[in-house]
Amino acid sequence: HESPMLSLDKTKERESLRGFIGDQKTLLSWKMDGLTIVLTYREGKLEKAVTRGNGVIGEVVTNNAKVFDNIPLQIPYQDELVLRGEAIITYSDFEKINSQIEDVDAKYKNPRNLCSGSVRQLNNEITAKRHVRFYAFGLVKAEGIDFHNSKQNQMEWLRAQGFDIVEYQVVTEDTMDDAIDYFSQKVQNNDFPSDGLVALYDDIAYGESLGRTAKFPRNAFAFKWADEM
């Protein structure tokens, strides 16, 4: 990976999250529970897809990523683009696939395990039948584009390139509670697994200036549902 993919520091307490947000405009989005994938495009074509792996080195899964339900194989942007996102399988597809497996011991425990197995298939025809979906949550590299120092602008640019992006809301410490209430009500009926929310500073330069600890980046923070830690 171009830069190490670190875990996020996390909390279940709203006040800890409020302390993280402080006076910063912040993007609050789903923390999807699937498999993180890094995509590289060159000359508008998907060139490489790699799993998160240990954060430094991942598995190459390009052939399988090409058959994900919603990954664009061709995009308008022609220079090198590197982005990160989550590969997931919906609960409804998970239940449908599991119901077709007769051996009880061979059934998958949850959508995440099924997604992980599907993304690593040696035969991408099997992957194609599993209806893996990809939701972008972060841009790593897109030279020559001015995002006006805004993560939100990066997300909307990725959307314009044809990617499905993770649902997010822009919050401040004052509007954070309404957004958490919205997400925590919606999660109960979502068709995809989520184990919490991710808070990310909109101000790119400020976020980068904070650096990281040995384990965590300082520009992002995870808020876990009460029963998920």
Q: How far apart are CA 24 and CA 8, in angstroms?
A: 18
Q: How confident is the model at residue 227 (pLDDT cuts 50, 70, 90)?
A: low
| Mean pLDDT, range 146-172, rounded to an integer | 98
Q: How confident is the model at residue 229 (pLDDT cuts 50, 70, 90)?
A: very low
| Mean pLDDT, range 95-110, rounded to an integer | 91
Question: Helix 91-99 vs helix 111-119: angle between axes, to the nearest 10 degrees?
Answer: 80
Q: How far apart are CA 111 and CA 34, in angstroms?
A: 8
Q: What's the pLDDT at 162? A: 98
Over pLDDT 90: what percentage of the chain?
85
Q: How far apart are CA 215 and CA 164, in angstroms?
A: 29
Is 83:134 a contact under the CB 8 Å cutoff?
A: no
Mean pLDDT of the chain, nearest integer? 93
| Mean pLDDT, range 150-179, rounded to an integer | 98
Catalytic residue among 10, 12, 25, 31: 31
Q: Helical H runs in the chain?
A: 14-21, 62-65, 91-99, 111-119, 124-129, 151-160, 176-186, 204-209
| Mean pLDDT, range 134-159, rounded to an integer | 97
Residue 141 a catalytic site member:
no
Q: Give the end-to-end CA distance of the chain in Å, rounded to a whole number.
A: 27
Q: How far apart are CA 94 and CA 113, in angstroms?
A: 10
Is the pTM here over 0.85, yes or no? yes
Pairing of β 133-142 and β 168-171: unpaired
Is 203's pLDDT higher than 80? Answer: yes
Q: How far apart are CA 154 and CA 223, in angstroms?
A: 22
Q: What's the pLDDT at 228? A: 52
| Mean pLDDT, range 97-115, rounded to an integer | 92
**Which is nearest to 35 in space by CA: 47, 48, 52, 49?**
52
Is 198's pLDDT higher than 90? Answer: yes
